[in-house]
Amino acid sequence: MTLEQRFLKYVAFDTQSDPKSETYPSTAKQLALLNHLLEEMAELGLHDVEIDPNGYVTGTIPATPGCEAAPVIGFISHVDTSPDMKGSDIRPGIIEHYDGSDIALNDRLTMRAADFPELAFYKGHRLIVTDGTTLLGADDKAGIAEIMTAAEYLTTHPEVKHGTIRIGFTPDEEIGRGVDFFDVERFGAKFAYTMDGGFEGEIEYENFNAAAAEIAVQGRNIHPGYAKDKMINALQVACEINALLPAAQRPEHTEGYEGFYHLVGLEGTVERASLEYIIRDHSREKFETKKHYLADAVALLTEKYGEGVIRLTLKDQYYNMREKIEPYPEVIEKAIEAMRQAGVAPVVRPIRGGTDGARLSYMGLPCPNLFTGGMNFHGKFEYCSVDTMQRAVQTIVNLARIWSESRQADSLPFAETKKN
């Protein structure tokens, strides 16, 4: 099976996660793809292939003879797709040789090159796009296809030297629960890489600090003709809360290291309303400031409307992995070298998002994020480059070989290495 065939097969699975669900995985349909991957890994001859009660699928590519002492490394991707956009009945379109022009997704919707300047880089590439009615699922089925294709290559090319390699597939990353029950010790890797990035050459080890905020507003509905000094319109209170947050700190006005408040849900009536936000910032200090600012806004309006009208629930989701990656510079250095050997120009930059790797890094498994070739995630303008996906596969293969050349001492942090 080719890389492209794998990808198209995987995106046919509807694996959308559900933030409202209390089960794990949040949707049973994710298990269909997870069990398919379980079977495929076994067919490829991987060892220790299993799915645990929480849906995590893992397997092992044993070390080639003479490389058993190399550090164990892992490659991880998530199976779920974003709940922000329809993820079922996906009908991918193929552009054989992209010419740099606008792309008609259907009769009514066009992806304009002027709106998405990154398209210029992919001129000449083979692209896979949506039909304009769903997301594509490159996030993160491109990563899954790349890991599985690299696994097939390594198992059928024993001349490529490598240490023990662990592979893992997780559910529910898109809703922040991807590694809630991931057993790092059982996974057994010294380091790992999530294949969950986008633009060709991306290597990311700085991500947002992240929190979710839910605000419930209890209004007081009175006939509008007799409402003076009696009615509390929950929808109007919700609008006041949003108006108190800095408009310049919204996703559509920020880039690079700038954080934001993102209103992702708003619903209600005069009697009752709710708002859902995600809060993001690379700086831990600014992240904490943003949370306090929101709490202060709620407190201010509580003084205006009284106790019991507004209820704020704040929950941290994950933190910037940089401080957990920096003690192990070889994790980044080897990824950069693997990319260069694959003909890829490395692009080190912060993730304006998060990955399972961020939380795994805090759980004791340093885990930066690498490119997959997918772009415009979570929406109908999502696409991916097959050419870039192929280079991602080569990067994985190169990493496996490069790590096999490492001594165990290479896996110690700078401070420990200097003592020896």
Residues marked as catalytic: 80, 173
Q: Is 403 exposed, middle or buried (0-12, 13-18, 19+ CB in 10 A)?
A: buried
Q: Are 33 and 143 in contact (CB under 8 A)?
A: no
What φ, ψ does residue 379 adopt, rounded to 5°?
A: -155, 180
* The one-letter amino acid at 375: M
The closest alpha carbon to 76, from 279, 342, 323, 363, belongs to 363
Helices 386-404 and 138-156 cross at an angle (nearest 10°) of 50
Q: Are 77 and 64 in contact (CB under 8 A)?
A: no
The closest alpha carbon to 136, from 371, 355, 376, 372, belongs to 376
Give the pairing of strands 191-195 and 369-370.
Answer: parallel
Half-sphere exposure of 217 (CA within 13 A, CB side): 30
Angle at CA of residue 69, ends 67 and 74, nearest 5° = 85
